[in-house]
A = this chain, B = another copy of it.
Amino acid sequence: MEKQKFREFLTTKGLKLTKERDEILHEILIMKKHFDPEDLFVRLKTKGSKVSRASVYRTIPLLVEVGLIEEVERVDRHAHYEKISEDRHHDHMICMKCGKVIEFYSPTLEMLQKEICQKENFKGVRHSLEILGYCEKCGG
């Protein structure tokens, strides 16, 4: 389970599992969608947590390093993150008009990554495909 994974990671690195780190991860885990650091901070505050903005910003890179979350996009001037779902990776389609984000998964794409990397002698770890365009509603 995610919390266990995080705990192990911290121990291995000689870091400590604090109440703050636990609260932050917990909040991310129960969240459904994208979030940005400020989001997360406000959410925690609202719930009565005493976690500081600094701790949120300091914990996020750790969670990225363990592979529990990933940066999915940059809107305006701030980063957005998302919990990495346990089952499978997915990519995004982003509507250039309304900003709607559609998630999709393509097995072909997963295979394609391997193929492309082989050709360039590159050891691919992960990828992110972003398709920009117009959603159904915004026509185009």
Partner-B contacts on A (CB < 8 A)? 74, 79, 93, 95-96, 102, 104, 106, 108-109, 112-113, 115-117, 119-136, 139-140
Q: A116 touches which one: B74, B96, B106, B113 (CB < 8 A)? A: B106
Asked if B129 contacts A133 (CB within 8 A), the reply is no
Whether the Cβ atoms of A102 and B120 lie closer than 8 Å is yes
With known contacts A106-B112, A120-B102, A127–B130 Cβ distance under 8 A: yes
The CA-CA distance from A45 to B74 in the complex, in Å, is: 29
Contacting residue for A108 out of B95, B112, B124, CB 8 A: B112
- Of A117, A122, A129, chain B has the most CB atoms within 10 Å of the CB of A122
Please give the distance in Å from A49's CB to the nearest CB on chain B: 26
Q: Verify B122–A135 contact, CB threshold 8 A.
A: yes
| Complex-state Cα separation, A132 to B123, whole angstroms | 8
Give the distance to chain B from A102, nearest Cβ to Cβ, in Å: 6
Chain B residue contacts of A139, Cβ below 8 A: 123
Q: Given B112, B124, B134, which contacts A123 in the complex, CB threshold below 8 Å?
A: B134
The answer to whether B129 and A127 have CB atoms under 8 Å apart is: yes
